[in-house]
Amino acid sequence: MPTAICLTPDRRFFGPALCVASQIIACGLPDEADLFLVCEETDVWPRFEEIDETIRKRLKLAVTSFDDVTRKLPSNNNGEHAITRRLFLDRVLPAQYDRIIPVDSDMMIVNEGLAPLISLDLEGAVLAAATDMISYMDFGGHLAEEFQAYRASLGMTPDTLYFNNGLTVIDRALWTKAEMGERTLRFIAANPKLCLRFEQSALNALLKGGFVRLSPRFNFMGDFMSLDLEEEIRPNVYHFVNRPKPWQRGWVGDPRYAHAFRDWFAISPWPDFPDVEPVDNHYEPVNQDFRRRLWSFLETQHFADGWQPQMSA
């Protein structure tokens, strides 16, 4: 299926997005998939034309303007508008792409990468996405009550799963027909106090669990990184949802993630960009109760990408 994999960074995330793009390429892209970097002219870093040839050959830079959809929109808690760009990729991309895979710029792509998502069966749904830790916290996280109240405020029942919008697989025709971009912006404008996570909040409120589920392999986020489940889940996509990011000062997570970004930038046109010195004695205690309860839940679930828990944790 003709597929557009898209990163949509603003200027702050332009370099990290290129690093993610290089990882997507290194993991292998089927012929029917093209990789896009969709941004505005002021987002492009100087010396972009000097990036490695292997990236230039597979990466399509699409410079456009999103002012018509963002100029009246409040920014999110981090002062960003760029995350709303993915809502309107159906307007920007050439017509031949039936499937769109938006990807956050704070991810790390490994192993077989995103290739399995090209042929994923969306089962008639408008999108596929992985369940967010906001739902998984119900199985032992210390923020369970807060996140349950947050989901309820969006009109979601306690058993309705909430997805993370960092990586999705979108049926372009269904997305456009349902006017998902416009409806999402209208929901944010009408309910700014409810949209604590901006477009992710709005999409969850609109879809109310009506999405095809990806396994944690395609969005290994947040607390997954501190639950000693990496060997069992074998992630293709790590997602650094919290701040600071692995390339930023103050990073306290596993140093190998910081090393990965530092090493890529060291041979890029911007060798001095990462503002982090990895700490090699990183350690986080495992919440064993949370781990067991979460794993037991995962064993009961069906994931569209075919992943199944292989052993009891």
pLDDT tens per residue across span 71-108 = 555 555 555 566 788 999 999 999 999 999 999 999 99
**Strands lying side by side in the sheet with 237-239:** 107-109, 237-239, 220-221
Residue 263 lies in a domain: yes
Give me the mean pLDDT over the 195-221 stretch.
Answer: 96
Q: What is the CA radius of gyration of the chain?
A: 19
Residues linked to residue 131 through DSSP beta bridges, in sequence order: 163
For the cut 70, the answer to whether the pLDDT of residue 195 exceeds it is: yes
Q: Residue 223's pLDDT band (boundaries 50, 70, 90)?
A: confident
**Strands lying side by side in the sheet with 212-214:** 59-63, 33-39, 3-7, 99-103, 163-171, 127-131, 212-214
Instruction: Give me the pLDDT at residue 245, please.
Output: 94
Strand 107-109, strand 237-239: pairing: antiparallel
Give me the mean pLDDT over the 283-309 stretch.
Answer: 92
**pLDDT tens column, 39-58:** 999 999 999 999 999 999 99
Q: Residue 313's pLDDT band (boundaries 50, 70, 90)?
A: very low
Show the DSSP H helices in the chain as ranges: 14-27, 53-58, 67-70, 89-92, 133-136, 144-153, 172-177, 180-190, 199-207, 230-233, 255-266, 288-298
Contacts with 297 (C-beta within 8 Å, 6 or more apart), sequence order: 136, 139
Question: Looking at the 3D structure of the chain, how many domains does it have?
Answer: 1
Residue 111 lies in a domain: yes
Residue 270 lies in a domain: yes
Q: What is the CATH number of the domain that holds 135?
A: 3.90.550.10
Structural domain span for residue 111:
3-298
**pLDDT tens column, 266-281:** 999 999 998 777 666 6
Strand 59-63, strand 33-39: pairing: parallel
Instruction: Give me the pLDDT at residue 222, please.
Output: 83
Per-residue CA distances from 66 to 59, 73, 129 (Å): 20, 11, 24
Residue 220 lies in a domain: yes
Instruction: Give me the pLDDT at residue 106, please.
Output: 96
C-alpha–C-alpha distance, residues 248 and 206, integer Å = 34
Instruction: Give me the pLDDT at residue 67, please.
Output: 74
Q: Residue 252's pLDDT band (boundaries 50, 70, 90)?
A: confident
Q: Residue 285's pLDDT band (boundaries 50, 70, 90)?
A: confident
Residue 129 lies in a domain: yes
Q: Which residue type occupies 145?
A: E
Give me the mean pLDDT over the 123-150 stretch.
Answer: 94
Lowest mean pLDDT: which of 25-39, 188-202, 222-236, 298-312? 298-312
pLDDT-above-90 percentage for the chain: 81
C-alpha–C-alpha distance, residues 145 and 140, integer Å = 10
Residue 120 lies in a domain: yes
Q: Residue 309's pLDDT band (boundaries 50, 70, 90)?
A: confident
Residue 311 lies in a domain: no
Residue 59 lies in a domain: yes
Lowest mean pLDDT: which of 63-72, 80-89, 228-237? 63-72
